[in-house]
């Protein structure tokens, strides 16, 4: 089985990570990478580290990609385009595929299809939704929280949301804690994208640590909605994100009040059982380290309690598990191939 893969939003960090992971995938073959700003230039000019995998691949125009979708029986479409742009691109290509009788599965990594309604999206992003008629065709969740995809397309949660949901949803679903959760998250600079801004400029961020958008981060409504959809609990997330002095990785700590006395070993046993069928979740007795997951699709979880309060820690790679790797994991499911295909490489440990 070989399926053509198309990547939209081709020059950003997430697109580069998608291309890196797809280069070793047994069933997905990169057919085109969209860059409307750099069409017909070599992909390796944007991603020199991918030279060995894509020495001659050129960025394609949207017209070229439309034609590929039109003539190909089945396409795996990954969208790493910016919020507000992704929905229009996806809608255009799905319309072309439907008219030609072709099958496309899409995983969107922007925020455009993460909400259940256009109104919910517009209240957070303060712009009109680009394709409201497509929203019902997408489900937003991390793969570990649904046995299968209930829709033909997936909206992958953001990287902060991925880490927070993986750490907190079992607490709600198993009724271990109150529904008021306090979240501290620290992200690497790649989480802010490739375009340099003050918050990601290396001299500004190096050897520093600072909070931003405390209790008002745009991922909070997304986290709340996703958690309710899979746990049934309408939880209150009090989220304070921080910028960390490293490039890759997210570290999240969740604190909540236990509903009944439970020691740390009991919490970790509950987490292990909840994720017993999830190959990329590892629950350990000691707190996780970003270096032990950076560049991988794994999440490391741990937990501590003092009898009344619970803390669950999670570490993921923001570009892999929090974006490209999670997207490929979902695409594997949509195509009914083994979930872990192309994603089992371990973290190097010394990034």
Which residues are catalytically annotated?
Answer: 159
CB of 329 closer than 8 Å to CB of 12: no
Closest to 343 in 3D by CA, of 4, 9, 28, 10: 28
Q: Which element (helix H / strand E) includes 300? A: strand 299-305
Closest to 68 in 3D by CA, of 137, 5, 153: 5
CB of 103 closer than 8 Å to CB of 73: yes
Tell how strand 3-8 and strand 309-316 pair up.
Answer: unpaired
Q: Report the alpha-carbon distance of residue 6 to residue 28 in Å, rounded.
A: 10
CB of 283 closer than 8 Å to CB of 302: yes
Residue 340, number of CB atoms within 10 A of its CB: 13
The two structure tokens encoding residue 181: 């959760």
Q: Report the alpha-carbon distance of residue 223 to residue 235 in Å, rounded.
A: 9
Cβ-Cβ contacts under 8 Å for 220 (sequence gap 6 or more): 237, 239
CB of 36 closer than 8 Å to CB of 71: no
Q: Report the alpha-carbon distance of residue 94 to residue 100 in Å, rounded.
A: 10
């Amino acid at each position: 089985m070989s399926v053509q893969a198309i990547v939209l939003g081709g020059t950003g960090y997430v697109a580069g990570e998608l291309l890196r992971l797809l280069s070793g995938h047994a069933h997905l073959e990169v057919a085109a990478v969209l860059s409307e700003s750099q069409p017909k230039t070599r992909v390796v000019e944007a991603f020199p580290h991918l030279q060995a995998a894509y020495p001659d691949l050129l960025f394609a125009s949207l017209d070229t990609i439309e034609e590929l979708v039109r003539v190909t029986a089945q396409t795996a479409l990954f969208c790493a385009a910016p919020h507000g742009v992704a929905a229009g691109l996806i809608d255009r290509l799905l319309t072309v595929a439907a008219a030609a009788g072709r099958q496309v599965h899409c995983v969107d990594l922007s925020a455009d299809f993460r909400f259940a309604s256009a109104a919910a999206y517009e209240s957070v992003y303060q712009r009109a939704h680009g394709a409201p008629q497509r929203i019902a065709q997408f489900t937003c969740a991390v793969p570990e929280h649904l046995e299968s995809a209930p829709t033909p397309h997936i909206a992958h949660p953001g990287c902060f949301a991925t880490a927070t949901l993986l750490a907190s949803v079992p607490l709600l679903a198993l009724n271990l804690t109150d529904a008021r959760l306090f979240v501290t998250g620290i992200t690497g600079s790649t989480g802010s994208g490739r375009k340099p801004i003050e918050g990601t400029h290396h001299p500004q961020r190096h050897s520093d640590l600072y909070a931003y958008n405390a209790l008002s981060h745009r991922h909070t409504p997304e986290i709340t909605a996703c958690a309710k959809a899979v746990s049934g609990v309408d939880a209150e997330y009090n989220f304070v994100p921080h910028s960390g002095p490293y490039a890759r990785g997210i570290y999240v700590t969740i604190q909540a009040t236990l509903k009944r006395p439970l020691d740390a070993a009991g919490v970790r046993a509950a987490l292990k059982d909840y994720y017993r069928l999830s190959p990329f979740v590892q629950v350990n007795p000691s707190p996780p380290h970003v270096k032990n997951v950076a560049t991988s699709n794994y999440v490391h979880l741990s937990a501590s309690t003092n009898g009344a309060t619970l803390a669950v820690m999670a570490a993921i790679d923001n570009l892999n598990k929090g974006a490209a790797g999670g997207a490929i994991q979902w695409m594997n499911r949509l195509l009914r191939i083994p979930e872990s295909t192309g994603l089992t490489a371990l973290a190097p440990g010394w990034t």
